[in-house]
Structure formats: C-alpha cells, structure tokens
Structure 1
Amino acid sequence: MLLDAASLYYRAFYGVPESVTAPDGTPVNAVRGFCDTIAALLREHRPERLVACWDDDWRPDFRVAALPTYKAHRVGADGGEETPEALRPQVPLIADVLAAVGIARLGSPGYEADDVIATLTTRAVAAGRAVDVVTGDRDLFQLVDDTGHVRVLYTGRGLKRLETVDTAALRERYGVGSGAAYSDLAVLRGDPSDGLPGVAGIGEKTAATLLARHRDLAGVLAAAADPDGDLTPAQRRKLLAAGEYLSAAPAVVRCVRDVPLPDGQGDLLPRTAADPQHLQVLAERWGLASSVQRLLAALPS
C-alpha cells in the first residue's frame, strides 16, 4: 500500500477541527487525523507493506520548465508552497511519528510524491506484487492497471466512502479504458487546480471520444495534423492552436517511473513500534496518545 502523504494530511487537516490540540494549545488535528487514517486503512485492508510517499519537491523544476503555469497559483510569498500556518509545523511531527512507529517514509529530491508512488508501483508490479495507491488526487488514476493488479483507493468522498478505482471504474466514469488513457485525457482536459489549461473547447467527454477513436494522444495529434482525417474543422483548429501546450503537457502530467530510490527501503509493516520510548514522548508531548494507540493496535499481529 502506497500513501500519497500530502493528500492525506491535507484532508486530515481540513477534516479534523483545529480545536484538537496538544496540551499547550498547539493544533495537532492533521497529525491525529493522519494517524487515524492509517489505522483505518490497516484495519480495513490489512496490507503487509506500506510506504508514506513524500513530496520532497512539490513543484519540480523539470515540470515548471516544461509548463511555467504548473502550480504557479500556489506559490507563496516565500517562494514555497502556500500552506496553512497551523498545518506547517505538523508536517515534520507526522514524519517523526512515522519514524518512531517504524512506518516507511520515502521521498526523493527533485520529485513529487506522485513520482515516488509511480516508481514504487512499477517496481512492485515487476516483482509480482499487487498495489493499492491511497490518494485524493485524480492524477494517480494513470497508474491503474488491472493486469498488474494496481488500483487506486480514492479518498475524494472521504475515508468512509473510499472508492476503488480500477479499469472498469475509469471506463464507466471517464470513458477511457486504461490508466495511460486517463493520463492522455488529463492532458486534453486540463486541470486548473494544477495550472494545466488543457485544450480550449475540448472538454472531458470530447477528449474521451477522441481517444477512443484514435487510441491515444499521439493518434489524436496525428489526426489533427491530417487535413483528410475524421476530425471536425473545429476540433482540428482547437488542437492545432494548442500545439505548444500539447507538446509540453505530457511531461508534466505523466508520473516519472524511474526515480532514483534506494532498494530495500524497509516497507514491511512493523509488528511493534520501532522506537517505543520516543513514540511515548511524542504522544505525551503532543497529546497523541489515543491516535498512537489506535495505530499501534492496527499493526499486523
């Protein structure tokens, strides 16, 4: 099981009231919610392996170079990502708790968590292991692969209404038949939340129809370049006008699958806390005792 950590701790931050605090009044709502999320996932799905995947770089240079608008609206005054003040100090505390419990946490300089997840997924499939990706980010639907036993557990409607996204779900909801096709759909449709404009005048349904007819993005672009192709004049005009965007966007949307990550990152879940003394200190200092206890109780016996 691979966790999109930032997606989950942001959801926890907004889903648990800031009135949940440490003894000194410091908000710990994201930490508590994140721990409780992992505990619930362990109880429900019983994975043997789990990695919390980290954004070591939330807006990598290679994506910004390809498309300068990528996440540009989220850049804060200090040049970093705009983050709620009450959440900012909780992120390193989440990392401390994970380390004390013994749950693997992995990121890579210059890459997003999505890239780490894609790389670990690729390795797991090659080793014959099934993968569940837990995220609230639709970008990771591109990893869905029934043959490789890769599915996404989507938190868009909350943890209690977790949606399992497989190829059938992609076909039913978006009209595409694979994770790769979803990635092409995302390029054409765009995503304002990530600063991806998409192709003006080409919505989700039209994009799905074009991909079904022409197989993939390369096929759609080939059809647009062919005056005798079966695109309507309006479709051809819109696609050709977006040529610069369409040449850059795939490198932004598609996850990197060969991030330089260490082998043997210790992804097996522990049976007991790796550092029980430090975990106790954290639990007492930050008022996390009940959430920590639930997490420990959910570990494999």
Structure 2
Amino acid sequence: MKKLLLASALALTTTVAVADPIFLDVGQDFGGNGNVATTSSSTGWIDQLTYIYQSETTVVDVDGSFSGTAASLLTDGDSIVTNGGFINGDLSSLSSNLITGLNPQQTTFGGPSDNGYGGDWGLTFQINNLMGTVAGGTNQYLDYTSGAISIYYYQAGMTSTADFIELFTINVTNSGLTASGSFVGGNVSNYGTDLVNGVVAGDVFNSLLGGFKEYSEDQVSPDFAVNSLLDYNTEDVTSADFLGTDAEGNNVFMVEGQHDGSITFNVPEPASIAILGLGLLGLAGARRRKS
C-alpha cells in the first residue's frame, strides 16, 4: 500500500523545457576534457542538471475525504507543504540529495567537459517549505505556489555541511501540468557573495549573457530575472504516517518519498523581450485601425 500511495499525485514524468545553455565556473581545474566553455576552470556548455532527493510532505486532508485507502488520501483542495534535500549537520545525507550529473555528459569519446564533476566537487540543495494544494482532478498533481530551493557548492576538504557555499535560491512561483508531466517554476535570486576558489558564488552559473548574479544585477526590470524549471519523478513513496489533527479537526499526514528529476534555466535577453513588446504593440495598433 505504501508504494502505491499518492501514485496519481506524485508519479510525475519528465517535462521537456526550452532551456538556455549554461556552464559552471568553479575557479579551479579539476580535470575533464578540453571542451570547456571558457577556461580550464569551467565546464563545457550544458543544457540541464539531473538530481535526486528525499522529501517529507505534510498533507492536510481539508475535505475529510480520507477513508483509509491510498486513493482517498489526496483530493483537490488538500493543502501540502514539502521539505527536502540534504540535512544540516548530516554529511551522509548528501549521497541521497544532490545534483547527480551535467547533461550532455562527458564521455570517453567527447562531449562537454565536466571539469571533474562528482569527484572533488559537486552541487547539492535544500527544499524549504514548498506550499500549495492538490489540484487537477483526474489528472492530479501538486500545485506549488511558494517556497524556496537553495543550491549549494561543496568540494573535497569540507568537513561539515556548514562549509557548503550557497550559490543562489530559486523562489518557487508556479507549477502546473503539461502533456508530458508536472513542473515547478521560479525565479533565481539571493545570489551568494562568498567565493568559490576565487569566483563569486553567484557567478558560478553562467549563460551566454554572463554570470547569473552579474547579469541579474545589471538589469533594471524583474522581467529579466533568471528563471528555472524543475521536473521531478517519485521513484518510491517510502512511508505515509498519520500525525493527528490540526486546530480545525482536519487529519494531517506525513508522506516521505524518494525522487529524481532535472532542472533547466532560462535567461531572458532584453532584445528579445523588446521585439516581443513591439510586436504586441503593432498588433494592438492594427486592431484599432480595423475597428
């Protein structure tokens, strides 16, 4: 029963998104091939990051629909709060909560350089208070509208999670369901100011327009903020425990799961947005003339 629990809501398939290519510059040459984006301290150009993580989701059965079966646990309108990722103070939690790879991958026959990713350095994250509701009816999904996902850098020689360097935070603003699965979207902000081997933490991630932090600070409009899109699958719901009732008498459950997925980034280009705006203005003018 536990493995089937929340299958309709959490067994989410991969969402393919249009993404901008990025590269990572960690300020040091850790290896890899010669197909780098800029210097030997950078990776090559990549399209997405893949990841795994464990989560805990608190479910409030707002409509009292739970009747003891898995199918009745989640219904539209039930509230959800999800937390996950590595655990502060527990280095062993890193193995189940990290960025597992860069895609396209470096191979024996070529591909973009990974600069030794996964050897002496890597990326991990924490998911904090993703809040939302169950939605979708027969095509059920988790509709998150707020929360934060913070990305961290680590490397050999660090002795505790307190040594991890925060690169940036993704502020979750929306989620939804497409023909190919569910997604969570948000804006990148709260760029780190510490140094990663001499590189400002917020500029470890780079696009064609420059480092994420530097680029965002140069923009005068929030429309130019770096955006991200995450899709995720649930490999196994490991447990679902009844916690009791809340102040309104609603049943409250804790659901634990193991997940995998991918993350992509989109960096709006001011020129493209300007062209789009001119196009819309042109159409508006045409309508007025016709009327």
TM-score (norm 1): 0.23
Normalized per residue, the structure richer in strand is: 2
Normalized per residue, the structure richer in helix is: 1
